[in-house]
Structure 1
Amino acid sequence: MNSGPIQPELAEPYLLSVLSSAGLDIEYSRAEGNTLYSVDEDGREFSVLDLAGGYGSLLLGHNNPEITAYATSLLEARTPVLTQFSRHSPANELAAELNRIIHRELGTDEAYYAIFANTGAEAVEAAVKHAEMDRVMRLGAIGEEIAAHIEQARAAVSGGSAVVAAGVDGSVGTGSAGRTDIADVADFDELVAALTRANAEQFSRPPVLLAPEGSFHGKLVGSVQLTHNEGYRAPFRALAAQARFVPLDQPETLRKTVDEERGILLDLVVENGVVRTVERPAPVFCAFVLEPIQGEGGIREVSRAYAEEIQRICAEIDCPVIVDEIQSGMGRTGSFLAGSQIGLRGDYYVLAKSMGGGLAKTSVMLVREARYRREFEMVHSSTFAKDGFSTLIALKVLELLEADGGRLYRRAAEVGGRLLAALESVRADFPDVVNDVRGRGLIAGLEFRDQGDAASEALREPARAGLFGYVLAGWLLQDHRIRTFPTASAVNTLRFEPSVQLTDADIDHVEGALREVCTRIRRQA
């Protein structure tokens, strides 16, 4: 049958052109473990070592045999997949198992409620959306308290048991950062009117979102505003609340930012027969969102000291902490949560990627019981979230991770340690080419020095165009059959996120290939 002329590329044509220019536009025919297979022009199959690992989605490898066998059994059993608005026992089992693991790692017994989604970015948005509902409800409760206090004060003044503090005209003036002052007035109605005007700005103020510089939390309308890369955010700035980005591991700047953004509401009290205004903090902070190890920001770790300062300041201002473990979690660093190794505790956790075992598209937002708002379940939903297939696959993934006393966690730490040692060896021998090695477990980054002033045009021009990392990835793929990519917001850093099936022979192959690439750069070839 004649299929007609070859159709033009309609799916992401610009992206394909970038991949093509770097020699990365290979189509793969099958996959297993850390290996992808393709067919050359002569019809011969060749293999590629995959170190990109689905951007961290393949901790258990491509088509893990236990997961694929289980998935097949689910399909053969005609397991219900889409049964919205009904009881979902597997989802409840999954939430309970996630709680059990988190309790063990964090040493807590407080429950985390689960809201399921399809992708990491969706789960981030669900967490922020829930945090904003919580903030708005807290703000509303304060508004009701202030209204009640006004009426109590009005009754006291009307009954003659209290008077307004002596003052002038009820004018409103700007006080210290984040607050508004009211001049004392003699007339109660003037006082209430001035207080209401002063509070109106705080009640209508958009939420303040905080995130470290270098962060990446997705590219949807809301999540992209939490992604530090200006190129991703700028076109959509008007569509959602803007985040305040603070330098990574600089606690003093975090304190300064928080102090600049604080909000104050004015309330009334009756003390010793006198009606006075008092200040109370306004809940303007929606959430602090961070990754324990920044993935797209160049594989950069949050320090224990910075994690402690975040938690201290956020507790002080009643700002929830959302821990994005989409890329670093699910055992990739040697523990279920990367943040648990630095003492980071979240009011929210976001998990995705490897949670689907390389087959299912699923994610989850977990919210601490003390923060949970049950009303959220009625205003947030998704057709495909919490489906029967992906939920059961996720349960299988947890079963494999937890088997044999957490053997896969230990293997991730051990194999990752060997991989990082190999990268460090390359850096030590090529300090003029490699700037840094970062990471933990099976999430590692190799940062190359900028080549924007290189003598070689083949190096200089891609570097100036922000494509140097893709050129390096192309060399590794074409010359060494190794697949990896630069991180999205740190394009001189190559990522390494293989599965736990990585072997010593694979690591030796990677080290040899990187040495050849570094030699090529050093020679400006």
Structure 2
Amino acid sequence: MSTNLENKKEELQVEDVNHYIKKVLQLIEKDKVTEEEARWITKETVDNFREHVNPGFLEYRKTVTKDGQFAAVEWSDEGSCFKDINGKVYIDCLGGFGIYNVGHRNPKVVKAVTDQLKRQALHSQDLLDPLRAILAKILAEITPGDLKYSFFTNSGTESVEAALKLAKMYSDRSTFISTTHAFHGKSLGSLSGTAKGMFRKPFLPLIPGFRHVPFGDIDMMRKTFESCYLVGEGVAGVIIEPIQGEGGIILPPEGYLKQVRELCDQYDAVLIFDEVQTGMGRTGKMFCSELYDVVPDILCLAKAFGGGVMPAGAVVAREKVFKSWFENPFMHTTTFGGNPLACAAAIATIDVLLEENLPARALEVGEYFLQGLKDASKGHEDKVLEIRGQGLMMGIEFHKDEVGYEVSKAMFDKGILVAGTLINSKTIRIEPALTISYEDVNTVIQAFKEVLSKVKG
């Protein structure tokens, strides 16, 4: 008898789940939803985050918005903006921390992905897939210097993991030098290079052999190289962001990156540039390394690499470094890396960046935007410590976290999304689409000026 009741319960659960799924799929089909549907989606989102995703996210959202608005649910996007489920439009100056370089749902990228989807979504894993080969050739052509071979990933941390493994196989060494304030990802290898203690401490010990030196301090970098070799721990590689993103948009001192390159050459160590955030036109060149006239041995890409449509990343390396994988190409693999949809998105993204000259536009608009923010902050030096940036990668540093939090919250209320939470707002980042209009830039500048005049120092 109990078995029959259990079977009946299971049948009802399956029926309920099927009904629920069909309702959601019908909503996905719709161009517009009703007010009643919007309320249902909002309630389901909040409840399911609390019960099945992570309730901490609700607290996070609460800290950056006004009373009750923590339930803001995103629903659609286009250009340099997105809309929530209730139709409110936001100018996106967070940009997924640098995902939307060619804008939200760029038509060319969407078309390339949908065209490919009509033919084939994922590759067989055995036959040769053409788009991976073609994309690798394109990258060899557009990346600086003699970077030649590519390995494709799904995310930034995966790109860093692949780069670290490449560097380890290049030599018999296992020591890596990273920098303070660095962010390279949160999987165990990339987390070993990341500097933020809050992310690292729960997972110690991490991958052994990582040393962190102050970003921009070439003397400390040199001494660390020397010390490692004196004690028989030769340096396998240096991993560094040309401009630090998570660390607060920290630009390198003049000549610093070239000197790091020289040290790596002197000690035959692999230089890894993590351009997950700075790459694909963000800083005014296709790759930030071009700004500083430095060619790394390995270049890590992700975020904007998939055009804001597909998760995609890449590692591009010199042949002398990459060839350790020639003998056995299965030394490092990923099921979905370099899949046809991701490659189609990346190829179309590069086409948009080149055809519309978006790196140069990022430089031009970025200079205008940066100056406008600086002008807006005049008279508020008691609140704003510094405004800095390169291209459309900017940071506003405040004297106190609390001020940055209040600014980011007030900007959100005005329909402008920037990075910044209650626990990490001393520097808020501005990383809009490279296609952002001057009209939207002016709107952001004016809102920033109005917010600063009302926020207490």
> In the alignment, does 2:442 pair up with 1:508?
yes
Select 1:35's aligned residue among 76, 81, 89.
Answer: 81
- The one-letter code sitting in structure 2 at the alignment partner of 1:53 is G
3-state DSSP of counterpart to 1:429:
coil
Counterpart mapping for 1:67-466 below 5 A: 67-76=109-118, 78-102=119-143, 106=144, 108=145, 110-136=146-172, 207-263=174-230, 284-372=234-322, 373=324, 374-375=326-327, 377-403=329-355, 407-450=357-400, 463=402
Letter in 2 for 1:443: M
Which secondary structure does the structure 2 equivalent of 1:486 belong to? coil
Asked if structure 2 preserves the Cα contact closer than 8 Å seen for 1:303 and 1:342, the reply is no
SS at 1:380's partner residue? coil
* 1:50 counterpart (92, 110, 113): 92
Q: 1:347 to 1:283 in 2, by over 3 A?
A: farther
Distance 1:376 1:422, change over 3 A: farther
> Would you say the 8 A contact 2:110–2:345 is kept in 1?
no
CA deviation after TM superposition for structure 1 residue 228, in Å: 0.9
Look up the equivalent residue of 1:383 and give its one-letter code.
T
Partner of 1:161: none
1:304 and 1:344 in contact (8 A); partners too: no
Matched with 2:432 is 498
Instruction: Identify the structure with the greater helix proportion.
Output: 2
CA distance in 2, matches of 1:349, 1:122: 13
| SS class of match (1:435) | strand
- Select between 482-491 and 326-335 the one with higher mean Cα deviation: 482-491
Give CA deviations for 1:197-227 in whole Å, capped at 9, x if unaligned.
Answer: xxxxxxxxxx211112111000111111111
Q: CA deviation at 1:128?
A: 0.2
- Candidates 104, 119, 123, aligned match of 1:62: 104
Contact map agreement 1:214 1:489 (CA 8 A) in 2: no
Shift of 1:427: 3.1
Aligned residue type for 2:156 = G
How far the C-alpha of 1:436 sits from its partner, in A, is: 0.8
Query: In the alignment, residue 159 of structure 2 is paired with which amino acid?
Result: A
- Residues 488/310 of structure 1: CA separation in 2 closer, same or farther (3 Å cut): farther
Change (3 A) 1:477 1:379: same
Task: Write the distance in 1 (CA, Å) between the matches of 2:422 and 2:319.
Answer: 34
Question: Which residue number in structure 2 is paired with residue 180 of structure 1?
Answer: none
Counterpart-to-counterpart distance in 1, 2:97 and 2:283? 14
Code of the aligned partner of 2:273: V
Identify if the C-alpha distance between structure 1 residues 39 and 384 changes in structure 2 by more than 3 Å, giving closer, same or farther: closer
Matches of 1:46 and 1:490, distance apart in 2: 26
Counterpart contact for 2:306–2:312, Cα < 8 Å: yes
CA deviation map 1:453-495 (0-9, x unaligned): xxxxxxxxxx4xxxx64443222112x1100113999631111
SS in 2 for 1:436: strand
CA distance in 1, matches of 2:219, 2:444: 40
CA drift of 1:444 comes to 0.7
Which has the higher mean CA deviation after the structures are superposed, 307-316 or 79-88?
79-88
- Aligned residues: CA RMSD: 2.3
The structure richer in strand per residue is 1
- Aligned amino acid, residue 37 of structure 1: K
Deviation at 1:66, TM superposition (A): 1.7
Larger-Rg structure: 1
In structure 1, list runs of 5 or more residues that go unmatched: 140-206, 265-281, 452-462
Alpha carbons of structure 1 residues 376 and 254: separation in structure 2 relative to 1, 3 Å? farther
Deviation at 1:25, TM superposition (A): 4.4
Identity %: 28
- Deviations, residues 88-129 of structure 1 (Å, cap 9, x unaligned): 221111111111112xxx4x3x35211111101001000001
State the TM-score, normalized to the length of structure 1: 0.74
One-letter code aligned to 2:267? I
Q: Aligned equivalents of 1:420 and 1:135: distance in 2?
A: 43
* Change in 2 beyond 3 A, CA 1:376/1:363: farther
Structure-2 separation of matches of 1:488 and 1:442: 24
TM-score for both structures, normalised by structure 2: 0.84
Residues 443, 25 of structure 1: CA spacing in aligned structure 2 closer, same or farther, 3 A cutoff? farther
Over 3 Å counting, the alpha-carbon distance change for 1:22 and 1:220 in structure 2 is same
1:22 partner letter: V
**Equivalent pair of 2:177/2:238 in contact (CA under 8 Å):** yes
Contact 1:469–1:485 (CA<8 Å) still a contact in 2?
A: no
Which amino acid in the other structure matches residue 227 of structure 2? E
State the distance in 2 between where 1:311 and 1:500 align. 29
